[in-house]
Structure 1
Amino acid sequence: RPQDFVALVERHGIGWHEKTLGQLFCDHSAKDIIRMLMAEMKGAGAQLRLETSIGEVERTASGFRVTTSAGTVDAASLVVASGGKSIPKMGATGLAYRIAEQFGLPVVETRPALVPLTLDQAQLAKLGALAGVAADAEARFGKAAFREAVLITHRGLSGPAILQISSYWREGEEIVLRLMPDIDIASILKGMRRANGRQAVQTALADILPRRLAQFFADEAKLTGRMLADLSDKTIDALASSIQVWAVKPAGSEGYRTAEVTLGGVDTRALDSRTMQAKEVPGLYFVGECVDVTGWLGGYNFQWAWASGFVAGQDV
């Protein structure tokens, strides 16, 4: 359970704090968690073998045999906790999926998730001057919506709201960004028009949005240089809508190279939810990200990895 892991962190004297949406972070460094897990592993008598590649995995009369670059390992049970395909420079591979398929377990199609989205060259040409600009936003795709920051990059869109919605977005479809979702931009601009109608549109918008974003939307609406007094209610409503119902069609994602997690994986229907053991292959377990379970940002995927690993460890 999450509270069990928090208690473990506290037993090791690691300070932590809560950010938005219940997300917990170490006060000092995530390396504190690594040191904690290493200490727990040592206390349990586990062996750590680094820079060791896996070759063949075989079923034997007494369990399983795994051939590695450091020799052969025989065991009564085999727990596959090798993660997904995300961030291959850290060693991620599709090993778990290969083992699952070898033993007849179904694998749900995998794809990058919690990943920045890319834009095509035409869109990048329009947004190029905005690289590095961030704004509060709601990112929406279908019924899924996430309220956090959006960051425009030299490749496309990033930031927490984009990473979250990337797990739902599909190629060829649009996402809708609602910038500054807590305010009624149309009403604010109309109030500014009454108070100071001679103010330029882009100047007024810069009181609401980051300056470069304000200039972008004024340019897109062909209103740069015009005064608020010149704008009708209809024009102001259309300008506000372009900001708060901003439809963007990503060209793709940055892929597994930067994806924080992998969608899809070993089909949960093939596993016993109480133990994570393969229903048709006694002694074979799959835990963590290689299973078709994906959480939001904020430690949920780590929690799933630890929790699924715990129940498998209790059964082995």
Structure 2
Amino acid sequence: MSYLLYSQAEQLKLHEPVPVTLHPAAVYLSSLSEGSRRTMLYSLDAIAQLLTDGECDAFSLDWSKLRYHHTAAVRTAFKERLAPTTTNKMLVALRRVLTEAYRLDLIDANDYHKAIDLPNVKGTGKLRGRALSISEIESLIASCYQQGDALGFRDGAAIAILRCGGIRRQEMVRLKCQDLCLKTGELTILKGKGNKHRLVYLTPDAIALIEDWLEVRGSTPGALICPVHRGGKITLRHFASNGDGIYKLILARAKKAGIKHFSPHDFRRTFCTDLLESGEDVLTVQELAGHRSPATTAKYDKRGEGRKRRAVRHLKFK
């Protein structure tokens, strides 16, 4: 089905260069953190390509020419193709760019308010991802130590940080040796989501795994978790900022350990679930995970119906 609403995509193109300070997409993207910027640029490119049959990207589309029939068509197209969460993220990017176009006086108020008047797509209510079991985590670590080389120790340290720190993969790739205090277990997360800093606290077991890696890596300043090449050669540089290196690391380790597919983000779900299961209050878990609100933390709770059954057992008639 075609969603090309103009007779020619040419009508939606920018025909003259626009300074970045006056380009709605550039202004919006500049307000975001590095990780969010990449995600939203992908969303804007997808929207531009959809509307122009692949002829435009985020910076060659004239966003000021979009009207309600364009934005409604974008919502319909993505609703049919993508998961609700992904579609709603696309709509956030679309609304925000049009807001910048309005602030820059590139679109009048009436057209702007009509164009952004799009309801979010409702989800199925099913929670994403899964929590890992203790036996799965033990199998992952055992796989690392059975390998017994630089790669195995590096992967063991990465798993320890993801499991006990509950951090995002994009946060992990920015970690430096000096961000970790081995004595106290404090790990400083600089410029997390929303450019916020926070502290997480690693357990003695996690610290022991990291120390084994550092014995191989050495104490030279640089990336805490870094690439290991064939032959065990270690390069003291950071993985790519999008975290793909960590994603591939985890996929490879899960395959070697014979564990059902999971993503690095499932360690965050496991982190939040285990803390809530142990009785920690949701606000503490929220702070440790770096979530904006307790509602976000609640989405990471994978305890299922068991917690509800256990809760009502405490109710009495007398």
Q: Please give the TM-score of this superposition, normalised by the length of structure 2.
A: 0.22
- Give 1 or 2: higher strand fraction: 1
Structure richer in helix, relative to its length: 2
TM-score (norm 1): 0.22
Q: Kindly indicate whether structure 1 or structure 2 has the higher relative contact order, using CA contacts under 8 Å at least 6 residues apart.
A: 1
